[in-house]
Amino acid sequence: MKKFLASILALALIAAIFTAPVFAGWEIEANNVDEGGGGVAFKIGAYTVKPVLDGKLDGDGAYTKIAYRSTDMSYAWSDDVDNAESWAKGLNPEIYASYDASNIYILVVSNADHYFNECEDGDVNSWQYSCIQVSLADESDEGGDRLEFGLWRKSDDGGQGSVVWAQHPGAKAEFEPKAGANYAVVLDGGKLYYETVIPVNAFLNYDTVGQDDKIGFNIVVGQADSNNVGHVHTQFSSGCTGNGKNAQYFAKITLGLPIEVVQLGEATGIKLQGELIGSETGWGENALAGRAAAFDGDVATYFDPTNANDPEDYCGMKVSEPYKLTEIRIHPRDGQPQRFKGASIWGFNEDVFDPYGSATLIWESDEASVNAEGEEVSFWHVITADQFVVKDAYFTHFAYFNEIDHGDVGEIELYGIPESGLPSEEPPAAAENDEPAPATPAPAPAPETAPPDAPQTGDGIFGIFALMALVSACIFACKKRGRQII
């Protein structure tokens, strides 16, 4: 009997060790709950600067940043750590994408606060660890029809790994991820960079795509702390993890125009820097759509006020001394050029913004964002002082507000002159009684050769420095020997 009980306990222990962790919590994104699939939709541009497949964010023209909201994300988490849900919802990965006629390029940036993955290449259980899962499909696909693969970087030795969980059954070709050839995963500055390029015929039944074509697109970012302990999934749209495989719930991505690279030239005045004021969060209590998004240097992110035309829902800046504005630069939210009508900048000197009282209107747009061809598109608008309602007033607070339309905006830059004046670039004038400095006498010529056996001063100093450098290097190497660098 004892042997029998011991056998049962042993089997139970083995089962506990080898059973894959199960998600204890799951939350679908609000947009797809409301829409029944297809509620998460974005547009990406064709690159104008080809991405270099090196696990780095290239310069302007390489990628479109997908400015998702919290309502576009779904989450799944295990129950073996106390804060797994908040960990999943606080991940906020950055997602970039672009395309050419034959390929889709993707770059995902995630923090490495929870980073564990020791899976070998091809490990089908890698989804339980720090990795990304990429799923692509035709726009009309449903159910399990998709290309799904994973990428990771091993946390113990930096080796890269990948696995294909599903080849698309209707695709023209299969996809085989190869490190260095079509993906790279890099750890840099406390962040993990996952970059990959996927031929479109690996998830479509044809070879090329173009403007206005649409695809199904899903990204899962996984994190873990250790082997089978604490793993979470943060998912852009849904349809891959948490509630089963269903391409119907993938984000719908429209392939758009080439990515615009803008050179605005030098501005008039000093770019204002200060404390951000206004609404910290935007629509749906989303911090990613709050005031910071309008001043982060990224036109893909945007401020999206919770309430339209509400003076309490604005974004702006408080500066350390009074400024008068000399130039305003505004990029409307991508995809919402009509909401540029009514965009306005206000100045005030109190901590409360009141457009119907103490605040002063500096400038206001009376039309949507329209280009030279008469098309409504979002692009950089440069507004100079001759277009201002008020030109010479000084303020310590500035606000962006819209009394006419909803009030979202992609990016704002304010330039001006402080009340104390611009810093002088001229050197201070010499005093009248300053005497010119005496000329430095020329050094005496050195002898052509040193006396026999005489030590050279420069060589002696060089030898001392060389010895010091050698000793320092040895000490550093000894200290470093016990530390693992990842």
Q: At residue 17, does pLDDT exceed 60?
A: no
Residues 241 and 310 in one domain: no
Q: Specify which residues 415 forms β-bridges with.
A: 271, 327
State how far Cα 322 lies from the chain centre: 33
Residues 371 and 223 in one domain: no
Residue 349, domain CATH: 2.60.120.260
Is residue 451 in a domain? no
In the chain, the percentage of residues whose pLDDT exceeds 70 is 80
Residues 287 and 250 in one domain: no
Residue 98, domain CATH: 2.60.40.1190
Hunting for tokens 């190869």 — which residue is that? 178
pLDDT tens string 120-131: 999 999 999 999
pLDDT tens string 329-348: 999 998 899 999 999 999 99
Question: Domain containing 413: what range?
Answer: 270-418
| pLDDT score for 369 | 94
Domain-ending residue, one of 204, 230, 258: 258
Q: At residue 486, does pLDDT exceed 60?
A: no
Beta carbons within 8 Å of 434's beta carbon, 6+ residues apart: none
* 434 confidence band (pLDDT: 50, 70, 90): very low
Beta carbons within 8 Å of 240's beta carbon, 6+ residues apart: 133, 135, 146, 148, 218, 220, 250
Is residue 55 in a domain? yes
| CA gap 6, 12 in Å, rounded | 10
pLDDT tens string 361-404: 999 999 999 988 888 889 999 999 999 999 999 999 999 999 99
Is residue 447 in a domain? no
- Please state which of the ranges 35-44, 155-164, 355-364, 415-424 shows the lowest mean pLDDT: 35-44
* Residue range 249-261: mean pLDDT, rounded: 87
Read off the tokens for 255.
């392939």
pTM of the predicted protein model:
0.64
- Please state which of the ranges 21-30, 58-67, 375-384 shows the lowest mean pLDDT: 21-30
Hunting for tokens 């010499």 — which residue is that? 430
Residues 224 and 288 in one domain: no
* 226 confidence band (pLDDT: 50, 70, 90): confident
Helices then strands, counting H and E runs in the chain, come out as: 4, 22
* 250 confidence band (pLDDT: 50, 70, 90): very high
pLDDT tens string 420-432: 988 765 554 544 4
Length of the chain: 486
Q: At residue 282, does pLDDT exceed 50?
A: yes
Q: At residue 16, does pLDDT exceed 90?
A: no
Domain-ending residue, one of 223, 258, 293: 258
Q: How many domains is the chain built from? A: 2
Q: At residue 19, does pLDDT exceed 70?
A: no
Q: At residue 67, does pLDDT exceed 60?
A: yes
Is residue 89 in a domain? yes
Domain-ending residue, one of 418, 448, 480: 418
| pLDDT score for 15 | 39
Read off the tokens for 282.
């935007």
Question: Three-class SS of residue 150?
Answer: strand
Residues 76 and 172 in one domain: yes
Is residue 42 in a domain? yes
Residues 246 and 289 in one domain: no
Is residue 437 in a domain? no
* Residue range 191-195: mean pLDDT, rounded: 97
| CA gap 364, 406 in Å, rounded | 14
* Residue range 236-260: mean pLDDT, rounded: 88
* 295 confidence band (pLDDT: 50, 70, 90): very high
Q: At residue 286, does pLDDT exceed 60?
A: yes
| pLDDT score for 83 | 85
| CA gap 108, 482 in Å, rounded | 33
19: region left, alpha or beta (phi > 0 left; psi from -120 to 50 alpha): beta
Residues 244 and 175 in one domain: yes
38-71 burial, b for 16+ CB within 10 Å, e for fewer? Answer: bbbbbbbbbbeeebebebbbbeebbbbbbbbbbb
pLDDT tens string 168-182: 999 999 999 999 999
Residues 98 and 37 in one domain: yes
Residues 212 and 358 in one domain: no
Is residue 67 in a domain? yes
Residues 170 and 275 in one domain: no
Is residue 454 in a domain? no
Closest to 276 in 3D by CA, of 257, 262, 295: 295
| CA gap 47, 298 in Å, rounded | 17
From start to end of 181-274, where are the E strands? 183-188, 191-199, 214-226, 229-236, 251-258, 270-271
Closest to 242 in 3D by CA, of 222, 256, 227: 222
Residues 31 and 137 in one domain: yes
Determine contact, residues 414/388, Cβ cutoff 8 Å: no
Environment class of 321 (CB within 10 Å of its CB; exposed 0-12, middle 13-18, buried 19+)? exposed
H helices of 290-371, in order, are none
* 225 confidence band (pLDDT: 50, 70, 90): confident
What are the backbone angles phi and psi of residue 414, rounded to the nearest 5°? -115, 135
Residues 411 and 288 in one domain: yes
* 263 confidence band (pLDDT: 50, 70, 90): low
